[in-house]
């Protein structure tokens, strides 16, 4: 099963993310979420995450950043940033990089400055959000989240906290 998760993460995480509810921890975890802010110093990307649920689990597989897992291994969060060498927009990035059919998405929101998409597959929910720097060929700031469907929540704080350092 872990190998399946790693394959899905490698293929879909850069484009699939899930919004979590700040008030509800993963079943079996402490109610003290101990929110912290993770920062990718090279890009100034910052995201609030529930440190009471997630522990560091190595480098992000895409860009520069960190991968986190819930202590029981049932949820995965990756926070990362990368250069936007091709000057892509959120729409063009999805068009060029989405590795699943768009009709398979359960949620899709694309604006001029970000995209957020999610889908459910094999009992897992995938959510991905990437914010694009305001200037052309700036940086792309992302987080990807995977968790079991039975833990379906809307932890909006993670998604709403994604911020690039502009300047």
Instruction: Tell me the pLDDT tens digit for each residue of 107-117.
Output: 999 999 999 99
Average pLDDT over residues 101-112: 93
Contacts of 67 (CB under 8 A, 6+ apart): 56, 57, 58, 59, 60, 61, 76, 77, 78
Of residues 155 and 154, the one with the higher pLDDT is 155
- How many angstroms separate the CA atoms of 66 and 96, rounded? 24
Instruction: Name the fold adopted by 2-100+110-161.
Output: Protein Transport Mog1p; Chain A (3.40.1000)
Average pLDDT over residues 74-85: 94
CA dihedral sign of residues 32, 121, 131, 112: negative
Read off the pLDDT band of 23 (50, 70, 90). Answer: very low
What does the pLDDT read at residue 132?
A: 94
What does the pLDDT read at residue 162?
A: 87
What does the radius of gyration of the chain's CA atoms come to, in whole angstroms?
15
- How many angstroms separate the CA atoms of 103 and 112, rounded? 21
Of residues 73 and 12, the one with the higher pLDDT is 73
Does residue 12 carry a pLDDT above 50? no
What pTM was computed for the model?
0.77
Are 17 and 126 spatial neighbours (Cβ–Cβ below 8 Å)? yes
**In the chain, where the domains are located:** 2-100+110-161
What does the pLDDT read at residue 27?
A: 41
Instruction: Tell me the pLDDT tens digit for each residue of 38-77.
Output: 999 999 999 999 888 899 999 999 999 999 999 888 899 9
């Amino acid at each position: 099963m872990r190998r399946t998760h790693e394959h899905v993460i490698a293929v879909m995480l850069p484009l699939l993310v899930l919004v979590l509810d700040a008030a509800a921890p993963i079943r079996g975890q402490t109610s003290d979420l101990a929110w912290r802010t993770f920062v990718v110093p090279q890009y100034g990307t910052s995201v609030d995450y529930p440190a009471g649920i997630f522990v560091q689990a190595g480098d992000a597989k895409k860009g520069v950043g960190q991968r986190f897992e819930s202590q029981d291994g049932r949820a995965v969060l990756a926070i990362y940033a990368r250069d936007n060498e091709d000057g892509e927009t959120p729409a063009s990035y999805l068009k060029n990089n989405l590795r699943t059919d768009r009709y398979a998405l359960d949620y899709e929101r694309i604006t001029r400055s970000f995209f957020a998409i999610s889908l459910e597959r094999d009992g897992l929910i995938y959510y991905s959000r990437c914010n694009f720097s305001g200037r052309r060929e700036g940086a792309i700031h992302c987080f990807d989240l995977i968790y079991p469907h039975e833990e379906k929540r809307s932890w909006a704080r993670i998604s709403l906290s994604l911020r690039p350092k502009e300047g």
